[in-house]
Structure 1
Amino acid sequence: MGSSLNRRTALGLGTLATAGAVFGAPAVASAAPPAAASGAEPTPLKAARKIGRVYQKESTAAGGNWQAYVTVAGSSEVAVNDESDTVLEAYSVNKIAVAVAVLDKVDRGLLTLDQRVDVTAAIVVPGGDGIFSLDGAYPSSVTLGHVLAALLTVSDDTAVRLCGLVAPALEINEILVAKGFPHTQVQPVANPNRFFLGVSTPRETHDLLRQLVAGTLLSPASTAAILSRLRAPIAFTDGIRRVMSSDERLRVATKAGWFDNARHEAGIIFDRAGAPVVTYALFADGQSGAEDFGATHPAVQARSKMGRSFIDTVDTLTGEAVARIARAPRYQPSNGG
């Protein structure tokens, strides 16, 4: 933690002032010309510089340790590159990688989303996050599509074990390595169908999201299956999406991970037409409030401020020209009936 504070102090003094060195922008805020100074429209470079300054300000204020990688307009501008190759526990952020492995098997015809898996009392994580532990009526069965929806929206812990029934730990890791993610791995245990969620790096998590939204990891249908769940209204709203309208939240696909004193989040912000314009992987630990898993945790509060600023900064930018695989639906609340 001491070295992190020293590094941030050095950045504040301007000792690293090369674009892309640590934050993809000059370390001193005044070194970057304000986006509105000339009256010109924002550019990806200006947006990246502003996002870098906001990240530096809010992460420093929150304290603790941060590792992150953030880009603007595809990957054309690096806004944040903060110890991005550090291998660390990813916690529930790695549920995206688990879903990629499961859907890879769907794409190869080895699984189907409508096939059923058995939910037994023995497989339910007692008191865990999600909905399966609230059921109380076992045995039961659900479709694999239901499992993935619970995994990626309410971050259901039992859904991880249900995924393990159809994609054992070693197979998940083999799939991820084959797709180019050797540091994004689950941790096997004695039971081959169980695993801890394992490790990743900010850069690999970012790159997995980039390749996913570009349509190069999975089929269009499987890509949409992940992105539609990550940007659903019931997906995580305490961090990046907290200070946003319902329409703005639908422009953000995000996944958080929390355990012990770590509070992570990774995702994509889309432009109004549905193209990706910001990709972020933000890993944080060591802040005060280790027992606080709510919106008042310092790292989660910092991300809520980042999110509001990020989406405002890129609001008039056009995202990367990729297929609009998961265009945001209009939010339609219901009163029953």
Structure 2
Amino acid sequence: MATIRRRAAFGLAAAAMLGTTASPASAEPAEAPEDVTPPDAARARARISFVYRRETRRARGTWSSHVSIVDPDGRVIPAVDDNADTVVNAQSVNKIAVAVAVLDKVDRGLIRLDQKVSLTPEIIIKDGDGIFRLHKVYGDQITVAAALAALLLVSDDTAVRLCGLVCPAAELNEILRAKGFEQTQVIPVANPNRFYLGKTTARETHSLLEQLVAGKLVSADSTTFILDVLRSKDGYIDGVRRTMSTAERERVATKAGWLNSDRHEAGVIFDGNAKPMLTYAVFATGAFTGDAAANDANYGGTHPALEARARLGRAMLDAVSRLHSGSARSYRMRAYVPVNGG
């Protein structure tokens, strides 16, 4: 006879008293042994898989995710493969793809990072995320580099339009398709220089990140540009990086995206030698635990999906902390040193 966990047994007894039925299969999974920092890739993968299942069941909603680790021999080992080929609304996670397309043009000499675009009143998105809308007066000449930094660091929505000035929607999609990303596409509108952020899948976003850190998508300088911004401690910390120290956060390159009920995040965790250890693409939407209207208006760290990602992020970092990446490529950024003006 299969062993029934004590909590599940209590549930069955309570159900019997109430005249209802309950299934042990619907209960939360048993707690894994406290092997939080396992010594090998197989157990690290099992740990991540367990925490993912536990947290997504608690948060509820619909999840599409792909997570992998790199073992000491350089092999990529899937830890989570959950509806990874489902096409989803990418939201701001696709800003990584936008940056890749723009920097591809920089690498080919078609545009320059110091090239200027105009922050005119009509281009400002006065709602949503970012810093450009907060200027209150407009007319600045913004470099392409500054637009990309705002796009990736604070997920600036106006920066999307600024990028569209130098990389129109049709060309952007063509660049991504040429790199093998058929599902990771923006949605054009009547103005050829504007677009909605479009669609992707967890598997394609995961692949885009893997290829990015491997130096296969853009030049070394452009790769460094993107990863410097995504790893900055000034970036997004409400999800995967929330319960990490400053040094730990700088080992994680991450980008989140949200709208309506969508709560997404994707990125890469590096080891102490600045080699990629783990790549994740976690997309969540739908009916989460709690009140739907309250959840849809909550983009902060108390949202059930973000609480789940925070616990998953801590678990992923810990799970690979004793492993050594077999990746041939490393990436370094300047260490954070606080200053006091002057």
TM-score bin (small chain): 0.7 to 0.9
Quick one: percent identity of the two aligned structures?
A: 53
1:91 aligns with 2:91: yes
Alignment partner, residue 231 of structure 1: 231
The aligned runs of 1:1-337 (5 Å cut-off) are 13=25, 42-73=39-70, 76-286=76-286, 287=288, 288=292, 289-325=295-331, 327-337=332-342
Secondary structure (helix, strand or coil) at the match of 1:229 reads: helix
Alignment partner, residue 23 of structure 1: none
Secondary structure (helix, strand or coil) at the match of 2:226 reads: helix
Q: Is the 8 A contact 1:58 1:306 kept in 2?
A: yes
In structure 2, what is the Cα distance between the partners aligned to 1:71 and 1:235? 23
Secondary structure (helix, strand or coil) at the match of 2:299 reads: coil
Look at both structures and tell me which one has the larger radius of gyration over its CA atoms.
2
Number of residue equivalences: 310
- Measure how far apart 1:46 and its partner are: 1.2
- Measure how far apart 1:235 and its partner are: 1.1
Cα deviations across residues 279-326 of structure 1 (Å, max 9, x unaligned)? 00000012241110111110011000111111111101112423223x
Alignment partner, residue 17 of structure 2: none
- Measure how far apart 1:41 and its partner are: 6.2
Q: Is the 8 A contact 1:250 1:329 kept in 2?
A: no
In structure 2, what is the Cα distance between the partners aligned to 1:284 and 1:275? 28
Using structure 1 for the length normalisation, give the TM-score. 0.88
Secondary structure (helix, strand or coil) at the match of 2:123 reads: coil
Q: How well do the aligned residues superpose, as a CA RMSD in angstroms? A: 2.0
Closer/same/farther in 2, CA of residues 229 and 75 from structure 1, 3 Å limit: farther
Using structure 2 for the length normalisation, give the TM-score. 0.87
Q: Is the 8 A contact 2:38 2:319 kept in 1?
A: no
Cα deviations across residues 57-82 of structure 1 (Å, max 9, x unaligned)? 00110011111000011662110000
Cα deviations across residues 99-139 of structure 1 (Å, max 9, x unaligned)? 00000000000011111111101000002201000011211
Alignment partner, residue 3 of structure 2: none
- Measure how far apart 1:328 and its partner are: 3.4
Alignment partner, residue 7 of structure 1: none
Q: Runs of 5+ in structure 2 lacking a partner?
A: 1-23
Higher relative contact order (CA 8 A, sep 6+): 2
Secondary structure (helix, strand or coil) at the match of 1:324 reads: coil
Q: Is the 8 A contact 2:38 2:320 kept in 1?
A: no
